[in-house]
């Protein structure tokens, strides 16, 4: 965690093409970061505006609480989660992969809240997060073009459809992390067709 935090302090954010990213998605037992738990983590890295499929990782995380009704969303059962790795092992692998990279999420606030809580339990601190959020980028684009936003428009699957991206029938944390990475590239292409979009104006700090 110390090396990750040190690299955050010197992280350079510029154009998409020269800013390393890590697209991350979590599956949780609920939506309350103070009460619920992470049960899966998926990520993929982006370099030079390209998704590095060889970097893909998907980890099931063992949890003490039942998945409950959340199974209807992520389709993970208690027996699946029981075979997962300990949370600390998952976080260690994730933060090693995130060193020197901007985080990418679809709806960053929720995922970051869970990661902050997990890190307080694991390392005793809530580390800094330098973040891009595809929802916030799409909102900025629609505001600039005076395009109204209807309820549900910004859901990952529906938003991908507006960019003619393929629909993934399977659902897990890795698939959603890759889907978010693809969506980022589509949004960036619409914002700036030559791929030279500058990211600092879209960065959020947690």
The kind and range of the H/E element at 102 are strand 102-105
Strands 21-28 and 102-105, how do they pair? parallel
Q: What percent of the chain has pLDDT over 90?
A: 75
Ranges in the chain, pLDDT < 50: 71-72
CATH number at residue 18: 3.30.420.10
Alpha carbons 47 and 21: distance in angstroms, whole number: 7
Whether residue 120 contacts residue 93, with contact meaning beta carbons closer than 8 Å, is answered with no
Alpha carbons 175 and 133: distance in angstroms, whole number: 17
* Counted domains in the chain: 1
Whether residue 54 contacts residue 24, with contact meaning beta carbons closer than 8 Å, is answered with no
Q: Which residues of 17-26 are buried (b: 16+ CB within 10 A; e: fewer)?
A: eebbbbbbbb
Q: What is the dihedral of CA 59, 64, 68, 71, to 10 degrees?
A: 10
Please provide residue 43's backbone torsions phi and psi, each rounded to the nearest 5 degrees: -155, 160
**pLDDT for position 67:** 60
Residue 115: give the domain boundaries: 2-205
**pLDDT for position 77:** 59
**pLDDT for position 78:** 62
Q: Which residues of 69-97 are buried (b: 16+ CB within 10 A; e: fewer)?
A: ebbeebebeeeebeebeebeebbeebbeb
**pLDDT for position 72:** 43
């Amino acid at each position: 965690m110390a090396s990750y935090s040190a690299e955050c302090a010197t992280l350079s954010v510029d154009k998409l093409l020269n800013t390393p990213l890590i697209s991350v998605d979590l599956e949780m037992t609920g939506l309350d970061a103070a009460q619920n738990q992470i049960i899966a983590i998926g990520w993929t890295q982006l370099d030079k505006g390209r998704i590095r499929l060889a970097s893909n990782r998907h980890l099931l995380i063992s949890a003490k609480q039942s998945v409950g009704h959340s199974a209807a969303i992520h389709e993970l059962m208690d027996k699946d989660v029981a075979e997962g790795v300990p949370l600390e092992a998952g976080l260690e692998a994730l933060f090693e992969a995130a060193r020197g990279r901007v985080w990418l999420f679809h709806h960053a606030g929720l995922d970051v809240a869970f990661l902050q809580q997990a890190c307080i339990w694991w390392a005793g601190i809530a580390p800094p997060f330098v973040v891009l959020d595809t929802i916030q980028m799409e909102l900025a684009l629609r505001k600039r073009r005076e395009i109204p936003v209807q309820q549900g428009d910004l859901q990952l699957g529906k938003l991908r459809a507006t960019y003619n991206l393929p629909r993934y029938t399977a659902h897990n944390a890795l698939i959603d992390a890759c889907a978010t990475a693809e969506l980022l590239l589509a949004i960036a292409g619409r914002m700036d067709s030559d791929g030279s979009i500058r990211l600092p104006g879209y960065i959020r700090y947690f």
